[in-house]
């Protein structure tokens, strides 16, 4: 079964630096998502992306964050000027966009800000 | 505001015991309901989903859930748990947009 893949599995970055988290969604999926899970808290929606633009974003997804689909396969999340509180597990997901199709999740990237 | 509540944060059971994890949601309009499972060190996997039709849905690994619209609930059940069911279980809801709103999760520990 095709999977969503994320790289790296663990990223350690100094506070204030920029990070790019990478995702390869399932190839015939059209909608892409980022979620995050701060340790001990619930999984939170960040952003959804369709047809090369953001379709919805949460209040967490402020100017510090951006997403991009730089080529036909990758979907990236960029976090600028990272803060300690950005430390979390970041999950990428994708689906076909049909209302009766569930999202498929990647293994996540654990981001640790020092 | 849209929200999902999972009442049990940590559940410990012995093998062969029956399981029921509670999930209530607050969401205006038509909802789609999900249970995801996260085994240690792995990604979120879909256990089962409800979109429409029979409110009793069956998922993988012997799990089932019942959608009770009047109670805004979607509780997860399994008649007899196994040690391999040890994991974290997340209830989630989506609506007109596909974004998922998750509950806080329930850690299930099954003792052999």
Domain chopping of chain A, boundaries:
5-113
For the segment B29-40, the average pLDDT, to the nearest whole number, is 90
Find residues 25-84 of chain B whose CB sits inside 8 Å of chain A.
Answer: 32, 34, 36, 42-46, 49, 51-52
Query: Which residue in B37, B50, B56, B42 sits closest to B102, CA to CA?
Result: B37
pLDDT at A99 over 70: no
For the segment B96-106, the average pLDDT, to the nearest whole number, is 90
Q: What is the pLDDT of residue B96?
A: 80
Q: Which of A33, A45, A99 is closest, CB to CB, to B51?
A: A99
Give the mutation candidate from A1, A45, A58, A94 for the B interface (greatest B CB count, under 10 A): A45
pLDDT at B71 over 80: yes
Q: Given an 8 Å threshold on Cβ–Cβ distance, is B43 in contact with A106?
A: yes
Q: Give the separation between CA B47 and CA B2, rounded to whole angstroms.
A: 22
pLDDT at B28 over 90: no
Q: What is the mean pLDDT of chain A?
A: 93
Q: Which residue has the tokens 């799990």?
A: B63
Q: Give the separation between CA A64 and CA A80, rounded to whole angstroms.
A: 5
Tokens standing for A66? Answer: 């951006």
pLDDT at A19 over 90: yes
Q: Which residue has the tokens 């300690």?
A: A84
pLDDT at A41 over 80: yes
Q: Given an 8 Å threshold on Cβ–Cβ distance, is A105 in contact with B103?
A: no
Domain borders along chain B are: 3-111
Q: Do the beta carbons of residue B77 and residue B56 sit within 8 Å?
A: no
Q: Give the separation between CA B2 and CA B28, rounded to whole angstroms.
A: 8
For the segment B53-61, the average pLDDT, to the nearest whole number, is 93
For the segment B68-83, the average pLDDT, to the nearest whole number, is 96
Q: Give the separation between CA A58 and CA A48, rounded to whole angstroms.
A: 9
**% of chain B with per-residue pLDDT over 90:** 76
Contacts of A58 in chain B (CB under 8 A): 99
Q: Give the separation between CA A47 and CA A57, rounded to whole angstroms.
A: 4
Q: Give the separation between CA A78 and CA A54, rounded to whole angstroms.
A: 14
Q: Do the beta carbons of residue A11 and residue A64 sit within 8 Å?
A: no
Tokens standing for A95? Answer: 């689906």
Q: What is the pLDDT of residue A71?
A: 87
Q: Given an 8 Å threshold on Cβ–Cβ distance, is B51 in contact with A41?
A: no
Question: Does 2.60.40.10 match the CATH number of domain A5-113?
Answer: yes
Q: Given an 8 Å threshold on Cβ–Cβ distance, is A103 in contact with B100?
A: yes
Residue B21's pLDDT band, with cuts at 50, 70 and 90, is: very high
Q: What is the pLDDT of residue A1?
A: 67
A27 touching B (Cβ < 8 Å): no
Q: Given an 8 Å threshold on Cβ–Cβ distance, is B98 in contact with A35?
A: no
Q: Which of A4, A31, A91 is closest, CB to CB, to B98?
A: A31
Question: Does 2.60.120.920 match the CATH number of domain B3-111?
Answer: no
Q: What is the pLDDT of residue B36?
A: 95
């Amino acid at each position: 079964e095709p999977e969503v893949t994320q790289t790296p599995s663990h990223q350690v970055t100094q506070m204030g630096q920029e990070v790019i988290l990478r995702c390869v969604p399932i190839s015939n999926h059209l909608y892409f998502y980022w979620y995050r899970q701060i340790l001990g808290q619930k999984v939170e929606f960040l952003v959804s992306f369709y047809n090369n633009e953001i379709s919805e974003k949460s209040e967490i997804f402020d100017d510090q964050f951006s997403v991009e689909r730089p080529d036909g396969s990758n979907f990236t999340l960029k976090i600028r000027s990272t803060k300690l509180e950005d430390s979390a597990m970041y999950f990428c997901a994708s689906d076909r966009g049909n209302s009766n199709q569930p999202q498929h999740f990647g293994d996540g990237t654990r981001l640790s800000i020092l | 505001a849209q929200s999902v509540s999972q009442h049990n944060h940590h559940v410990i059971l012995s093998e062969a015991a029956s399981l029921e994890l509670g999930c209530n949601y607050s969401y205006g309009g038509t909802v789609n309901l999900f249970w995801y499972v996260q085994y240690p060190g792995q990604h979120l996997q879909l256990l089962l989903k409800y979109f429409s039709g029979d409110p009793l849905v069956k998922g993988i690994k012997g799990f089932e859930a019942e959608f009770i619209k009047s109670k805004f609930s979607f509780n997860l059940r399994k008649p007899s748990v196994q040690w391999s069911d040890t994991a974290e279980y997340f209830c989630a809801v989506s609506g007109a947009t596909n974004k998922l709103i998750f509950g806080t999760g329930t850690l299930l520990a099954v003792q052999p």
